[in-house]
Amino acid sequence: MNIAALAKQFDEEGYIVVEDFFDDGLMEHLDCVIRAYYGDNPDFWHNEEFLEKSHTEVVPWFPQREGNHDFDSIEQDERLQQLTNEVIGADWNSQYCMVMFSKQGTAGQAWHQDCPPDDPSRHNLNRLVYTSDIVDEIGGQTVVVPGSHKHGELPAGDPTGEFDDQVVLRPKKGTLVILHGHTWHRVMPIKGSDRFSTNYRAAPAGTPDDVTDVCVYRNMRYRFSDSSVIEERVTQA
Ligand SMILES: O=C(O)CCC(=O)C(=O)O
Ligand SMILES: [Fe+2]
């Protein structure tokens, strides 16, 4: 792993993909833990307005908040910590580990920025781990616009429309994707079977814990803490 090259790539593109970062045995174990959890808890917590407007269907789970330690070893992985140091600087903070579940037949996630880019230095970092392969037959590919973490606000428009310069990622079991919170990204609809990803969110030193409370979509800004649309966004004619 060439950490300096990856950090340079992150700075330029707003994301990096490292295949075979995590070993198969760990991935298979976590995949079982995740599937067992959601088997019992298939409910959605988002309200109807959010589901309808955001074109986003994800059920989050924060295993460490429930005393589950299966996910700790990734958080403590020295290579991951080193890579994080290189991309967002020393003294970064680990925010939480969030597993995301999208059921077969659901919309995935519309284009978004995890937090507003109003202050370019204020952002979260997604450190995404995939415990099983994301392939075209299943859907749920992660799509990014390279360099968009430096392009300011995601333009208003079609929540799931295509960008000419978008890149489709198909992370495999054990792949690590590191994604800047301002990078324009989405998840394609889920077709073949359920989809899971696990996000070890982090942020540069000094970033408030609620940095991702407001998410920017192409048709609105949405605040999770009180489930409200704080801004409707319309395309200028
Ligand atoms: O699951 C993915 O591939 C991306 C999820 C995402 O948008 C995020 O964690 O902010
Ligand atoms: Fe996101």
**Within its chain, how far is the Cα of 15 from the centroid?**
11
Query: What pLDDT, on the 0 to 100 scale, is given for residue 42?
Result: 59
Rounded Cα distance, 103 and 113, in Å? 22
179 CA from centroid of ligand 2 (Å): 8
Q: Nearest ligand to the C-alpha of residue 142?
A: 1
What radius of gyration, in Å, describes the C-alpha atoms of the chain? 17
The structure's pTM equals: 0.94
Give the tens place of pLDDT for each residue, 46-71: 566 767 777 778 888 999 999 999 99
- CATH class of domain segment(s) 3-232: mainly beta
pLDDT-based confidence at residue 183 (cuts at 50, 70, 90): very high
Q: Which neighbouring-strand residues pair with 200? A: 97
Confidence grade of residue 40 (pLDDT, cut at 50, 70, 90):
low
Beta-bridged to residue 18, according to DSSP, are 176
Q: What are the tens digits of pLDDT across the range 112-148?
A: 999 999 999 999 999 999 999 999 999 999 999 999 9
Spatial CB neighbours of 162, under 8 Å, sequence gap ≥ 6: none
Confidence of residue 44 (pLDDT cuts 50, 70, 90): low
Pocket of ligand 1 (CB under 6 A): 100, 109, 114, 126, 128, 142, 185, 187, 197, 199
Between the CA of 231 and the centroid of ligand 1 the distance, in Å, is 22
Select from 199, 200, 201, 224 the residue to mutate for testing ligand 1; criterion: most ligand atoms less than 8 Å from CB.
199
Residue 17 CA: which ligand is closest?
Answer: 1
Dihedral angle, C-alpha 59, 63, 65, 67, nearest 10 °: 150
